[in-house]
């Protein structure tokens, strides 16, 4: 590769002179233009190499950022999946707990309803039994009252007969029972 040192050597190089050659002034002018073009090309190549290094460094930086972003994205996706799994497990547990509580409430309600029905049946039996006793007592009381009324009617009939007898002449001096 030609560098600035080598270019300076070429610039300062002198050729021997001969009679049958090219015009030395034209050759010198051509060589100077050629050296200037080569120098410009070398400077451009140097700038291009610097730009290339900068671009390669930027590309490497971008590649590392891409890797980092990819790893971050994968970690975020894994975390999201884990959170979804945790949320599903928690939701399932909440549903199981709710079902269990609902079943327990239903079981207690069923037991309470059965207890209420049993108590109502017992009370109904007690009421029926009491009703039967009251019916018997009423029947006995009515029988006694009928007997007493019959006795009272007989007493009234006797009293009325006694009063009739008194009015008819007995004189009323007899004691009345």
What would the DSSP string read from start to end of 117-158?
A: HHHHHHHHHHHHHHHHHHHHHHHHHHHHHHHHHHHHHHHHHH
Proportion of the chain above pLDDT 90, given as a percent: 48
Q: Tokens 């050729």 — which residue? A: 15
pLDDT of residue 1: 57
pTM of the model: 0.40
pLDDT of residue 166: 86
Beta strands in the chain (DSSP E): none
Dump pLDDT digits (tens) for 25-53: 888 888 888 888 888 888 899 999 999 99
Half-sphere exposure of residue 107, counting CA atoms within 13 Å on the CB side? 6
């Amino acid at each position: 590769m030609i560098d600035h040192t080598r270019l300076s050597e070429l610039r300062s190089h002198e050729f021997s002179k001969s009679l049958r050659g090219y015009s030395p002034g034209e050759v010198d002018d051509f060589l100077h233009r050629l050296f200037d073009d080569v120098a410009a090309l070398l400077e451009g190549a140097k700038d291009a190499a610097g730009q290339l290094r900068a671009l390669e460094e930027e590309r490497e930086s971008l590649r590392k950022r891409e890797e980092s972003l990819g790893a971050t994205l994968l970690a975020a996706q894994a975390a999201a999946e884990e959170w979804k799994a945790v949320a599903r497990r928690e939701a399932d547990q909440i549903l199981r707990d709710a079902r269990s509580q609902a079943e327990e409430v239903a079981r207690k309600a069923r037991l309470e309803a059965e207890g209420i029905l049993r108590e109502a049946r017992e009370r109904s039996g007690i009421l029926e039994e009491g009703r039967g006793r009251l019916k018997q007592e009423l029947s006995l009381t009515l029988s006694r009252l009928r007997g007493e009324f019959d006795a009272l009617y007989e007493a009234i009939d006797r009293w009325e007969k006694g009063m009739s007898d008194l009015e008819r002449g007995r004189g009323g001096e007899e004691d009345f029972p």
